[in-house]
Structure 1
């Protein structure tokens, strides 16, 4: 881009590439406040940078809305042109620093869906080799928007979710696919033959997971068919919390198969086929594209991938 004065002649001033970094951050967060937090700047610094960029490129960048700002059509085109270049610079700089896990005092924070969280908890002993590294595992927040806002703002380093991100801001990798099964008490009086049909499934009471995706319950989100209403015995916010309820009743639940393999014997449960066609229950690792070559996070992603594979 050429910088020109009001007469149209080149001003001789070099273009400040930091303005583009502020623009990309503000575009992705749709907020001057969040951009300032992400870049460790004041809000006035972000506003001034955007004003300078607007003057330099000669086009309106954002319009105000009730809850923030929205990019103009001009800004969308500008973002598409500059984003990859800014990311390329970030990737190169991030890749320069070497990470030494044996001596690092780094603190990592990971959001995990519950099934992955339970598997990783059993593998935490691997961090004994790295006594100064702190790893904090947290359950996914209930709202998708919060999950990826925190990842974008670098409040968390990694997300392990049940679906990949569809945003170019993030990269995703499938870690593990799990099947769904029915579970019931091993002493359930009507289910001793180990068989399950759709009618038998609908006739029983159900222990449900009270988590929604795309405005659907956990099972409805994964099942290809439209399920009729079920008779509800109890509802839970946790997969692990469902198991005692199933164990001490004549109700059914639907869970990932690996959860049963880990805890079925402990809770005196039996597994039965789930009689509907379903998608797999997947675990995806998601991280910011701009951190793809960060040596510390590359090490962390490799370690987490190895541990989830080992815990199957």
Structure 2
């Protein structure tokens, strides 16, 4: 094959197909039609004289040749994308940009309040629900559907960068009217009293189990599973249950929801709050500004 006649744009489309696993999602990410994606992949297969994708289970499946090609070109394409992005100019006072963020809803109020105060109306934001799995979060960054993910788990993918924002202690909260629990909570009471936990699971484990300091066997009286920390806090404020929350949130809602804060009778690791993004955005001026803005808003 003569390289001078090879269309490098085909590799851009190919890389996106490998990331999304779908012609439709690739078309949405690149702003072209699904037939255009299909034509591009047929041209690439003809140029390389290799079959790259086959149909299976109603989806396209990459062949061994496609996987090998992707491993050889993905980082080079990422490097090119990173360099090109760095040439973009960005002025937060006049530039237009839209940023999509994914993270726990307990930060939404603070973020939305800060974003509403931006003087440049050309800057807009979307706050998306936290991913239920690592794979979902990774896919959202790989496809650039999300600019920034805020999570307590480092996403294990070589195309993603991360930065620790802060760590927060885990405490227990209960309604002030809940007379069954106080600051002298024993380990036995901790196991016996009804509690509300996050239904969110990572690697098949309840979120709380990731932060156990010791390999301690704990029997929990789980009476309720909440979909988010905020739902947990609201449930506890109106019932005789208790739950685990980061200290910052406990203090923030203590007076507003008439809560009492209790030290847990077990050792728990602090909760990390981690900002994560695709490497192609690492030196993008607008993304650098976004990351600094998030730090201004969320850092203690």
Q: 2:89 is matched with which residue?
A: 98
Instruction: Name the CA distance, whole Å, in 2 between partners of 1:257 and 1:118.
Output: 17
Query: Shift of the alpha carbon at 1:190?
Result: 4.1
Cα gap change, 1:266 to 1:293, in 2 (>3 Å): same
SS at match of 2:172: strand
Deviations along 1:238-295, whole A, 9 cap, x unmatched?
3223334323433211111111011112222222222333343222212222222222
Instruction: Name the CA distance, whole Å, in 2 between partners of 1:119 and 1:292.
Output: 25
Q: Name the Cα RMSD after superposition.
A: 2.5
Q: 1:37 is matched with which residue?
A: 28
What does 1:1-312 align with in structure 2 at a 5 Å threshold?
2-3=1-2, 14-121=5-112, 123-124=114-115, 127-192=117-182, 194-223=183-212, 225=215, 228-309=218-299, 312=300
Instruction: Name the CA distance, whole Å, in 2 between partners of 1:201 and 1:279.
Output: 17
Cα gap change, 1:122 to 1:204, in 2 (>3 Å): farther
- What TM-score does the superposition give when structure 1 sets the normalisation length? 0.85
Query: Shift of the alpha carbon at 1:94?
Result: 0.9
Judge which range, 91-100 or 150-159, deviates more.
150-159
Instruction: Name the CA distance, whole Å, in 2 between partners of 1:248 and 1:36.
Output: 47
Structure 1 unaligned residues grouped into runs of 5+ = 4-11
How many residues of Structure 1 are paired with residues of Structure 2 in the alignment?
A: 299
Structure 2 unaligned residues grouped into runs of 5+ = none
Deviations along 1:105-158, whole A, 9 cap, x unmatched?
322221121233344345446x43434322232332445544443333333322
Instruction: Name the CA distance, whole Å, in 2 between partners of 1:42 and 1:149.
Output: 20
Instruction: Name the CA distance, whole Å, in 1 between partners of 2:268 and 2:145.
Output: 34
Query: Shift of the alpha carbon at 1:85?
Result: 1.4
* Residues 148 and 277 in structure 2, CA contact (< 8 A), matched pair in contact too: yes
Judge which range, 112-121 or 178-187, deviates more.
112-121
Query: Shift of the alpha carbon at 1:227?
Result: 5.3
Q: 1:6 is matched with which residue?
A: none
SS at match of 2:288: helix
Instruction: Name the CA distance, whole Å, in 2 between partners of 1:132 and 1:43.
Output: 30
SS at match of 1:128: coil
- What TM-score does the superposition give when structure 2 sets the normalisation length? 0.88
* Residues 220 and 226 in structure 1, CA contact (< 8 A), matched pair in contact too: no
Instruction: Name the CA distance, whole Å, in 2 between partners of 1:30 and 1:244.
Output: 39
Larger Rg, first or second structure (1 or 2): 1
Cα gap change, 1:210 to 1:293, in 2 (>3 Å): same
Instruction: Name the CA distance, whole Å, in 2 between partners of 1:62 and 1:244.
Output: 49
